[in-house]
Amino acid sequence: MHSTMQNYPLTITAILRHATSVHRARRVTAATEGGYRQCSYRELGQQAAQLANVLRRIGITGDQRVATFMWNNIEHLTTYLAVPAMGAVLHTLNIRLFADQIAYIANEAGDAVIVVDMSLAALLAPILPRLDSVHTVIAVGDGDTAPLEHGRKTVLRYADVLARESTEFSWPDLDEYSAAAMCYTSGTTGNPKGVVYSHRSSFLHAMAVCTSNGIGIGSTDCVLPVVPMFHANAWGLPYAALMAGADLVLPDRHLDARSLIGMIEKLRPTVAGAVPTIWNDVMHYLEKDPAHDISSLRLVACGGSAVPMSLMRTFEEKYGVQIRQLWGMTETSPMATMAWPPPGTPDHQHWALRATQGQPVCGVEARIVDDDGTVLPNDGKAVGELEVRGPWIAGSYYLGRDESKFDSGWLRTGDVGRIDPQGFITLTDRAKDVIKSGGEWISSVELENVLIAHPDVIEAAVVGVPDERWQERPLAVIVAREGSSVSAEQLRAFLADKVVRWWLPERWTFVDAIPRTSVGKFDKKAIRARYAQNDYAVSEVRD
């Protein structure tokens, strides 16, 4: 017996058609230096058609790669629609990577064209001559394109070439399994690895973001993706907003707390997504300058690193804004889990569950395995490496790189943690950041979460450092509040009743800034290296 259902492919083209017809009147607003620019979804669709015409004219056919080197703005959103819908593959280059990484990535992906924001031209120009496959650069915005010309590439002006094209394009019928977009992981070890999203995975992920157990984006929302569109497709928020017919607010390069608060007050987004650092900045800004209203936000999705409980409670209790943890990675599109405690959960347990990485959304399955690959029980106690599978989870890397990350149909996340009987996942560490002390594991992340709740601590990173007796012991790296004289003894005392005794760090160092990776996460490899090179003034505190 055969199903009698239509064979309707799940494609970004379907999102494009839906957004630009049914939701044609909805608006995307992008921040600029002095104000805002706007267009309707109908106009966005016309611009996408113009861009697709330009790309066809300069020879883009089949599944060739069109790269972007862009902030979150209307032109970047246009590439999100035009490139996959014309059958080509959108490759969002991460502008925060090092030049060598960018060159490696663009060459491996074989990018044919790069769409670059003129504010980033100076960053791209020196790399351009090394990008062998790139033949054309399309420059968005004003300014001198001369530096780009040195790359021996054809340089076109986005506005000029689009203006000459038709606002209609005959979007091809596509197989839902075909490649739509690619992102590279920004791993701190080894070369970056490419993840190639399909039309199907992008469509399903956007749909999952629109479900209530995801972010629940609907046509009454206005969405502010602060998370960069070059980072795991801005958590799928742009496609989800287009699918739902929600308005979009794009911050371009204006990512400081003051600019963001201004945008929120003026444009009143209901949903936003950004890493904890951003919301930490917003919180500190509002503490100093409380006469701002961010209450239009019904939900802030927050992920990329563990979200401190203190941050969530402050936003909810002081500003009426709910922060919910989302967990995922480039390989998971990225939304895999969301922290929504079940209804009727008592208050203290509610907050304990809010502090977890959450439950898998339907479509995603999660399990933990030990070093031998044995599946461990979801009893809230056993600790192992998290593995996930699902229709928007990577099953390999581009060109088959690093096969060790895949375990017969499951993605090995490199995260270590436990799962409770209801599927709530608590990640205690990156596998490579776990501190192994006297044969037992200490969670650097849990120590960091407690430390950050101290009123004098602005940032805290904990890494394992060699110890003669215990093999490894934790080192706490602290950024203290300006003017504070908090001591290692005081912080150790603060920790004492919150974690088990043998977790208490003996080694402490106070710094002005914690080294970060190109995507803004703590660079624990660099921290360990600096410790090893005696770059830190370390105080030792013992009882």
d(CA 200, CA 197): 8
Token look-up 């629940």 returns 216
d(CA 366, CA 387): 6
Dihedral sign for Cα atoms in the order 436, 441, 442, 446? positive
Contact between residue 445 and residue 499 where contact means Cβ atoms under 8 Å apart: no
CB of 393 vs a second copy, minimal distance in Å: 5
One-letter amino acid of 139? A
Q: In this chain, which stretch among 50-58, 204-212, 297-305, 467-475 interacts with a second copy, using CB under 8 A?
A: 204-212
Answer yes or no: 381 catalytic: no
Q: By CB under 8 A, tell whether 201 contacts a second copy.
A: yes
| Interaction residues for a second copy, span 48-77 (CB under 8 A) | 63, 65
The encoded tokens of residue 365 equal 């399955």
Q: Is 91 or 253 the residue whose CB approaches a second copy more closely?
A: 91
One-letter amino acid of 79? T
Q: Kindly tell me which residue out of 50, 81, 93, 200 binds a second copy, with binding defined by CB under 8 A.
A: 200
CB of 394 vs a second copy, minimal distance in Å: 5
Give φ, ψ of 280 to 5 degrees.
-60, -45
Q: By CB under 8 A, tell whether 180 contacts a second copy.
A: yes
CB of 18 vs a second copy, minimal distance in Å: 5
Closest CA to 354 of 284, 413, 459, 424: 424
d(CA 493, CA 491): 5
Answer yes or no: 436 catalytic: yes
The encoded tokens of residue 9 equal 């492919």
Q: Kindly tell me which residue out of 186, 233, 359, 413 binds a second copy, with binding defined by CB under 8 A.
A: 359
CB of 159 vs a second copy, minimal distance in Å: 28
Q: Is 320 or 342 the residue whose CB approaches a second copy more closely?
A: 342
Q: By CB under 8 A, tell whether 7 contacts a second copy.
A: yes
Answer yes or no: 331 catalytic: yes
One-letter amino acid of 127? I
Contact string 382-421 vs a second copy (x = CB under 8 A): -------xxxxxxxxxx----------x-x---------x
Contact string 222-261 vs a second copy (x = CB under 8 A): ---------------------xxx----------------
**Catalytic position from the list 20, 68, 79, 185:** 185
One-letter amino acid of 353? L
Q: By CB under 8 A, tell whether 25 contacts a second copy.
A: yes
Q: Is 469 helix (H, G, I), strand (E, B) or coil?
A: coil
List of residues 6+ apart from 251 with CB closer than 8 A: 30, 31, 71, 72, 224, 226, 259, 260, 263
d(CA 84, CA 311): 37
Answer yes or no: 441 catalytic: yes
Q: Kindly tell me which residue out of 23, 231, 253, 412 binds a second copy, with binding defined by CB under 8 A.
A: 23
Q: In this chain, which stretch among 130-138, 213-221, 250-258, 369-377 interacts with a second copy, using CB under 8 A?
A: 213-221
Q: By CB under 8 A, tell whether 11 contacts a second copy.
A: no
d(CA 206, CA 209): 5
Cis peptide before 334 (omega within 30 of 0): yes
Q: By CB under 8 A, tell whether 171 contacts a second copy.
A: no
| Interaction residues for a second copy, span 444-463 (CB under 8 A) | none
**Catalytic position from the list 318, 381, 432, 436:** 436
Tally the residues of the chain: 543
**Catalytic position from the list 108, 165, 176, 331:** 331
Contact string 85-104 vs a second copy (x = CB under 8 A): ----x---------------
The catalytic site residues sit at 185, 331, 436, 441
